[in-house]
């Protein structure tokens, strides 16, 4: 009987702890489902799951297009001029998230062009632009900005491409879930119950 009560209290506390810790709701943006190219501009936003991909307002318009294998990815819309496209990813509810993975592929032989990733939170650039440049790749490879897993609410990327070299794809983003007050109250109650139970057990 005693063992069962301890098990029930432990389960309640563990459950409350699990809820209070929050859980991430993940999405990998793959640009799947498009049947034709889409240029992002001041009036066109691409939405996948809970995330918007749009034009940041700087540089050239981002282009979502077939990479030649039927797979859609994100490109610079005007290539070969050395200017970059400005793309932005935010949650549709504008709450914060983490960037957990992002891939790119270089389809051309030139390596003089690049991708820059940066992160903002509440309108402030909290993770400055980090540049990635690599040789021609036979598949999409992981980029590793230092702010993977860090809280942001606005991911910016500049893709400076040459004759369609760089494409960005498979962007894994996870919502940052803040425990709700009612969950915290439940946790406090669970811990309180356990403490009280332990005190009673220890009482002579």
Q: How far apart are alpha carbons 82 and 119 in whole angstroms?
A: 23
Does 172 sit near Ca ion (CB under 5 A)?
no
Distance (Å, whole) CA 73 – CA 67: 6
In the bound state with Ca ion, the residue whose beta carbon lies nearer, of 30 and 56, is 30
Mark the segment that binds Ca ion (CB under 5 A) among 8-16, 37-45, 130-138, 161-169: 161-169
Supply the minimum distance, in Å, between the C-beta of residue 169 and Ca ion. Answer: 4
Least separation in angstroms between CB 107 and Ca ion: 14
Interface segment toward Ca ion; rule CB under 5 A; list 41-49, 138-146, 150-158, 169-177? 169-177
CB of 38 to Ca ion, least distance (A): 13
The contact pattern for Ca ion, residues 67-96, with x = CB under 5 A and - = no contact, is ----xxx-----------------------
> DSSP assignment of 74-106, as one string?
EEESS-SSS--EEEEEEETT---EEEEEEEEEE
Could you tell me which residues come within 8 angstroms of residue 203 by beta carbon, excluding any fewer than 6 positions away?
Answer: none
Q: Token pair of 14, please?
A: 């563990």
Total site size for Ca ion, rule CB under 5 A: 6
Q: Between 75 and 113, whose beta carbon lies closer to Ca ion? A: 75
Rounded to a whole number of angstroms, the minimum distance from the CB of residue 137 to Ca ion is 15
82: left (phi over 0), alpha (psi -120 to 50) or beta: left
Least distance from C-beta 115 to Ca ion, angstroms?
16
Residue 31 binding Ca ion, by CB under 5 A: yes
Q: Is residue 45 near Ca ion by the rule CB under 5 A?
A: no
For residue 53, the minimal CB distance to Ca ion (Å) is 12
Provide the token pair at 55: 């034009």
Backbone torsions φ then ψ of 26, nearest 5 degrees: -90, 150
Output the 3-class SS for 103-157. EEEECCCCCCCEEEEEEEECCEEEEEEEEECCCCCCCCEEECCCCCCCEECEEEE
Rule CB under 5 A: say whether 169 interacts with Ca ion: yes
Does position 56 interact with Ca ion (CB under 5 A)? The reply is no
Residues of this chain that bind Ca ion (CB under 5 A): 30-31, 71-73, 169
């Amino acid at each position: 009987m005693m063992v069962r009560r301890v098990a029930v209290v432990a389960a309640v506390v563990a459950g409350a702890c699990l809820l209070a810790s929050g859980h991430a709701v993940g999405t990998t943006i793959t640009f799947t489902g498009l049947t034709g190219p889409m240029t992002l501009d001041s009036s066109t936003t691409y939405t996948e799951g809970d995330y918007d991909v749009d034009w940041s307002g700087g540089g050239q318009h981002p282009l979502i297009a077939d990479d030649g294998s039927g797979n859609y990815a994100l490109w610079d819309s005007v290539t070969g001029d050395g200017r970059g496209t400005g793309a932005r990813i935010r949650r549709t509810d504008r709450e914060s998230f983490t960037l957990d993975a992002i891939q790119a592929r270089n389809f051309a032989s030139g390596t003089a062009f690049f991708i820059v990733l940066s992160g903002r939170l509440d309108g402030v650039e909290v993770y400055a632009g980090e540049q990635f440049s690599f040789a021609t790749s036979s598949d999409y490879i992981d980029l590793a900005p230092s702010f993977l897993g860090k809280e942001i609410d606005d991911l910016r990327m500049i893709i400076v491409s040459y004759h369609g070299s760089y494409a960005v794809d498979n962007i894994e983003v996870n919502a940052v879930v803040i425990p709700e007050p009612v969950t915290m109250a439940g946790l406090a109650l669970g811990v309180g119950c356990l403490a009280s139970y332990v005190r009673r057990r220890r009482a002579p």
